[in-house]
Amino acid sequence: MSAYIVKRILISIFVVFAVSIFSFMILQIMPGDPARLALGYEASEEDVQTLREKMNLDKPVVTQYILWVKGVARGDFGQSVIYKQPIDKMMAERVPRTLTLGIPALFIAAPLGIVVGVISAVRRGKPLDQILTFLTTVSMGMPVFWTGILSVFIFSVELKILPLQGYVSPSQDFGQYVYKAILPVFCMALPMIAGIARQTRTNMLDSINQDHIRTARANGLPERSIIFRHALKNAMIPIITVIGMQVRVVIGGSLLVEKVFNVAGLGTILTSSINTRDYIVVMVGVLIISLITVAVNLVVDILYGVIDPRIRLSRR
């Protein structure tokens, strides 16, 4: 098992480096001069050139990347040329806001999605299955921003039972954090619940029709034991894959949710930095996103090996 984990970690490190190189090259070919955008078009050419040298933009692309990697290795993420703040301080303020909305959404969506999918599969073809299938289909088709606007209109404007916008850190006031996080977490969790439920239903239908499940029923095992101890266990690997893939929903949906609910998180700062060509901030943001994604995929790979040792042995 240890050799399997070490191999997955090494692959994950390679992926992070590959993503950083790719994103760095994309930023290099984007139109516009970051130094000129930072100082404005009325700035003198001399001032712009001085800032270019300060940002290492006068050096070859490979040298720029190497200098950036060396800085990150030392814990020096640089300073935003637009916000005039250290990037590590900016990220320390904004990343927790995104995570404290996205992680609860994922932890709520995973068990609920599995339960809904199992119920739908067990009740296949019955009214409850049809209702759940309809609801999950609608939930997957609704854009996150539309869900956010609709929920704000219903619960904040009409019913006036939940706040319109804003964010409070859980360390500052946990009660207010929960109160203000209900709607954004709900908006992020809804499409994840639907996606996990659909995948669970599909895999459960395949699992409960296998021969060993029929044998278990013929031997008189309780139906609950058959469903949860045998059928669901066999269906878990594709379900875990889908749960791991929901990280992209958390990251992608965070931008729209942050816009609707006025939360200054990672998605907001990334969008602003891309528009202003504050490429150092963009690089650090992409690095953080890739680290989170790779870490989740690493956990998923390890869970594969725990659930089915054959996968662990085949990937050595």
Is there a domain that residue 87 lies in? no
Total domains present in the chain = 2
| pLDDT tens across the length of the chain (316 residues) | 677 778 878 888 888 888 888 888 877 777 777 777 777 777 788 888 887 887 777 888 888 888 888 888 888 888 887 788 888 888 888 989 989 998 999 999 999 999 999 999 989 889 999 999 999 999 888 888 888 899 999 999 998 898 888 888 898 999 999 999 999 999 999 999 999 999 999 999 888 888 888 888 888 888 888 888 888 888 888 888 888 888 877 777 777 888 888 888 888 888 888 877 787 888 888 888 888 888 888 888 777 777 766 655 555 5
Residues 109-113: contacts with CB under 8 Å, at least 24 apart: 109/189, 109/190, 109/192, 109/193, 109/196, 109/246, 110/192, 110/196, 110/243, 110/246, 112/189, 112/193, 112/196, 112/197, 113/192, 113/193, 113/194, 113/195, 113/196, 113/197, 113/199, 113/200, 113/243
101 falls within a domain: yes
What range does the domain containing 257 cover? Answer: 95-275
Location of structure tokens 């932890």 = 107
Same domain, 284 and 241: no
Residue 90 is assigned to a structural domain of this protein = no
| Together in a domain, 54 and 134 | no
Specify if 31 maps to a domain. Answer: yes
* 250 and 303 co-located in one domain: no
* Pair 100, 154 in one domain: yes
147, 223: one domain: yes
Q: Return all residues near 211 (Cβ < 8 A) that are at least 6 apart.
A: none
Same-domain pairing of 164 and 202: yes
Q: Is residue 261 part of a domain?
A: yes
Nearest to 285 by CA among 48, 3, 23: 23
**What tokens were used for 257?**
């949710």
Q: Are 140 and 268 found together in one domain?
A: yes
**DSSP symbol at 17:** H
Is 0.85 surpassed by the pTM of this model?
A: no
Task: Write out the two tokens for 208.
Answer: 């409960």
* CATH code, domain with 114: 1.10.3720.10
Domain-located, residue 163: yes
- Say if residues 294 and 12 touch (Cβ distance below 8 Å): yes
- CA 59 remoteness from chain centre: 34
Claim to verify: residue 111 and residue 199 sit in the same structural domain:
yes
| Residue 66 and residue 145 in one domain | no
Question: Do 271 and 305 belong together in one domain?
Answer: no
Q: Is residue 108 in some structural domain?
A: yes
- The predicted structure's pLDDT at residue 289: 86
Contact of 65 with 24, CB cutoff 8 Å:
yes
Query: In this structure, are 132 and 251 located in the same domain?
Result: yes
pLDDT of residue 34: 75
Residue ending a domain, among 244, 259, 275, is 275
Q: Are residue 257 and residue 166 in the same domain, yes or no?
A: yes
Asked, for residue 152, whether it belongs to a domain, the answer is yes
